[in-house]
Structure 1
Amino acid sequence: MMNVPAFDLKRNYEMLKDELKDAVNRVLESQRFILGEEVEGFEREVASYLGVSNALGCASGTDALLLSLMALGIREGDEVITTPYTFFATASVVSRLGARPVFVDIDPVTYNIDIDKIYDHITPKTKAVIVVHLFGHMAQVEKIEGLLRDKRIYLIEDCAQSFGAWRKIDDDIRYCGTIGTFGCFSFYPTKNLGGYGDGGLVTTNDDYLADRIRKLRVHGLCGEYVHEELGMNSRLDAIQAAILRCRLPHVDEWNKQRRIIAERYRILFDTYGISEFVKSPHEDTDGYHVFHQYVVRCDKRDELMKYLTENGVGTRVYYPLPLHLQPAFSSLGYKMGDFPQAEALSKNSLSLPMYPELLPEEQEYVVDTMAKFYRSN
């Protein structure tokens, strides 16, 4: 029996460990651990990579979202539209400010928020829309960006799972995080661009809002011990920035490897005759999927997951309980059946092993094991 984990960070570390150790030692020698030159260098390099005016490090992807909403003045009584099929933080940051998350069902093909349904949920209280580029597939934000701008509604891109993803818009390559008012990134260790701890980033082309973020991430500080407003303590530390600077030049190659692995899965599903039971993830023809996760829709999901676990294959379910059914959001008044596409996906989706160093023979073992399950069931 082969052991194939859902993800493996050690293989990646082995490739870069000497460079990473040098980077960490550089910070140790400097004795500058909070913000400083390493963070500023990383911010410049990310801004250049994405083609955006401002990139601002913070403590986590969650804080990136929260800082963005704070900078926009989101408060009690406001509404923020988003998807019920995403990580908890996307909506929790809205509630933390006293505003109301308003959920819109997902597109069953892309798994992203159904862009066309956003229009129907806009009210005079709508102040922002958070679009999540889920699992590495960028949503069609260009379809909604103009309307929101005309209505003075802010667009926030949740890019936590999609660093390096892009869409071709009007013959231009536009990276995720560069179209909305803000782009919010996470550098959690398992991300396509991951650090070795928590870390986050906010991008914006608005210089005034960039200055707001800079102040808010340090308690609203505008001078020595002078605070213009109530901010928070959310700073990217120098060690994480140094590590991310080492890893950033490799992210394109890692994303290419993820795409090769995704295509190999699709071919193997056909080769082993299980395509009728397992549906590969979708990629728009004008988009570039970076496959943070490789999430399939499959028959007998729970039984398959158990069988794979018993045979050494690690899998995950993202997300078994949509946000509108989470106990923490019960006060919003949603119920089972309100968002049927998100609920259906939560019952039949499964994330298979996906990381750039996944070997072809490991993939073949995964799919062969899946085929044995379906042949016997």
Structure 2
Amino acid sequence: MKDKIKFLDVAAINRRFITTFDEELKNVVRSGRVLLGTQTQRFEEEFADFCHADYCVGVANGLDALWLTLLSKKMLAAWEDGDEILVPEHTFIATVQAVVRAGLTPVLAPVSETDYLLDVSRLSDLISSRTRAIIPVHLYGRMANMQAISSIAQEYNLFVLEDAAQAHGAQYLGFSAGDRVWQGAAAFSFYPGKNLGALGDGGAVVTSDARLAQCIRQLANYGSSEKYHHELLGVNSRLDELQAAFLRHKLRELTQDNNKRRIIARRYLTELFNPYITLPYSTMDIEQKMQSVFHIFPIFTKHRTKLQNYLKDNGIETLVHYPIPIHKQKCLSMLWTDENTYPVAELLSAEELSLPISPVLSDNHVTTVINTLNSFEV
């Protein structure tokens, strides 16, 4: 019987750290401090340094990282309810939910048909007198064109909030997601399946804006900067000590883990040749794309259901990211009507299929995935 190849073997990824995790669990229990302690402080310092930013604020999850940043910026810059935020038409729903929860209006911006990221050539056309920010999403682990986005933001005095939930360690022109050079903020998720994943939920914001970092930290702690003194109407959104301790150890291996993903991605890009499959990048520009951390390796096909079933029958698990486009999500139906069409988002939602990729995926399993895909016929 063939080995089953999981889309992502989270258990195997975490087993590499089990001895260390056991020791950290004991340390946290013995300390009696499970929130707002030294482990969280040290992780925030180490992750800020990893991203080349001045500050990191740990929060409960990636959605809160986006939402609390927007809410803080709204307060500090005196944005008004309903002000507009540009977001890509193709992204996970959390990007748009964060905007709506902050009392702001998401404006869907086109993504490129070649890299599935914000089409910077069309951004300026969407900017109005009420536009306040751009949220580039570093989808699938590849950073958006931050140089062009930053230039546009400076020209129109807009805030840039990177949705870096899939881009821990990714780079653009040698600068990291969240790097101080981008002069904004970046929101990260530590959901267990991420390249840097906790053993539960977790998230963080990195920025080099001291006032913004302080406001996010205050809002995330019941609006309090001093115990029992609540200046702001805040929430409870904190990264706990145990998750911070786990993440510190995994952060030390993140660069190596990302490099393993790049090795697998290079094999997919150079060895897959099935005419019924479209690869995310051409073989001509592979090396340029290796700054991606390949959180997801997407392929595209007009025969997705048949291909997914074929792979399943051969013991290979795949996922779809994301089958329902943002503008067709029921919870956001008040924002868009049937007249709103986003053809690239709809095409990607209909044809995308994500292949297994992770630091624990064996060479033999990669070979099996490639051979099985190349054997697929319609």
TM superposition score category, shorter chain reference: over 0.9
TM-score (norm 2): 0.93
Matched residue pairs, number? 367
Asked whether 1:27 is paired with 2:40, we answer: no
Shift of 1:240: 0.2
2:321 — aligned with what?
318
Asked whether 1:209 is paired with 2:212, we answer: yes
Shift of 1:298: 2.2
d(CA) in 2 for partners of 1:287, 1:99: 35
1:61 — aligned with what?
62
1:342 — aligned with what?
345
Q: Does the CA-based 8 Å contact 2:89-2:326 persist in structure 1? A: yes
Q: Does the CA-based 8 Å contact 2:146-2:172 persist in structure 1? A: no
Q: Does the CA-based 8 Å contact 1:133-1:157 persist in structure 2? A: yes
Secondary structure of 1:235 counterpart? coil
The counterpart of 2:146, out of the listed 135, 141, 146, is 141
Q: 1:152 to 1:243 in 2, by over 3 A?
A: same
1:13 — aligned with what?
14
Structural mapping, 1:268-307, within 5 Å: 268-270=271-273, 274=274, 276-282=275-281, 285=288, 288-307=291-310
Asked whether 1:93 is paired with 2:98, we answer: yes
Q: 1:133 to 1:151 in 2, by over 3 A?
A: same
Equivalent residue letter for 1:138 = M
Secondary structure of 2:26 counterpart? helix
Q: Does the CA-based 8 Å contact 1:325-1:336 persist in structure 2? A: no
1:72 — aligned with what?
73
Q: 1:284 to 1:208 in 2, by over 3 A?
A: farther
Structural mapping, 1:41-56, within 5 Å: 41-56=42-57
Secondary structure of 1:356 counterpart? coil
Q: Does the CA-based 8 Å contact 2:262-2:290 persist in structure 1? A: no
Secondary structure of 2:327 counterpart? helix
Q: Does the CA-based 8 Å contact 2:66-2:163 persist in structure 1? A: yes
d(CA) in 1 for partners of 2:339, 2:257: 39
Asked whether 1:130 is paired with 2:129, we answer: no
Asked whether 1:267 is paired with 2:270, we answer: yes
Shift of 1:337: 6.5
Shift of 1:364: 1.8
**Could you report, residue by residue, the CA deviation over 1:8-64 in whole angstroms, capped at 9, with x for unpaired residues?**
012222222111211221111111001210000000111111111001100000000
Range with bigger deviation, 343-352 or 71-80: 71-80
Structure 1 alignment gaps of length 5 or more: none
Asked whether 1:82 is paired with 2:81, we answer: no
Shift of 1:267: 2.8
2:170 — aligned with what?
165
Q: Does the CA-based 8 Å contact 2:59-2:237 persist in structure 1? A: yes
Q: Does the CA-based 8 Å contact 2:43-2:244 persist in structure 1? A: yes
Secondary structure of 1:240 counterpart? helix
**Could you report, residue by residue, the CA deviation over 1:157-177 in whole angstroms, capped at 9, with x for unpaired residues?**
000000000011xxxx21012
d(CA) in 2 for partners of 1:361, 1:279: 23
2:367 — aligned with what?
364
1:198 — aligned with what?
201
4+ aligned runs moved over 3 Å, structure 1: 334-337
Shift of 1:286: 7.1
Secondary structure of 2:64 counterpart? helix
d(CA) in 1 for partners of 2:250, 2:66: 23
d(CA) in 1 for partners of 2:139, 2:16: 28
Q: 1:336 to 1:86 in 2, by over 3 A?
A: farther
Shift of 1:284: 7.5
Q: 1:278 to 1:148 in 2, by over 3 A?
A: same
Secondary structure of 2:205 counterpart? strand
Q: Does the CA-based 8 Å contact 1:75-1:97 persist in structure 2? A: no
**Could you report, residue by residue, the CA deviation over 1:193-221 in whole angstroms, capped at 9, with x for unpaired residues?**
11100000001111111111111111110
Q: Does the CA-based 8 Å contact 2:86-2:134 persist in structure 1? A: yes
d(CA) in 1 for partners of 2:340, 2:188: 31
CA RMSD of superposed structures (Å): 1.5
Shift of 1:78: 0.8
d(CA) in 1 for partners of 2:80, 2:304: 40
d(CA) in 2 for partners of 1:224, 1:42: 22
Shift of 1:111: 1.1
d(CA) in 2 for partners of 1:165, 1:231: 31
d(CA) in 2 for partners of 1:117, 1:105: 7
Q: Does the CA-based 8 Å contact 2:178-2:185 persist in structure 1? A: yes
**Could you report, residue by residue, the CA deviation over 1:133-183 in whole angstroms, capped at 9, with x for unpaired residues?**
001000001102122123221110000000000011xxxx21012224110
d(CA) in 2 for partners of 1:175, 1:325: 33
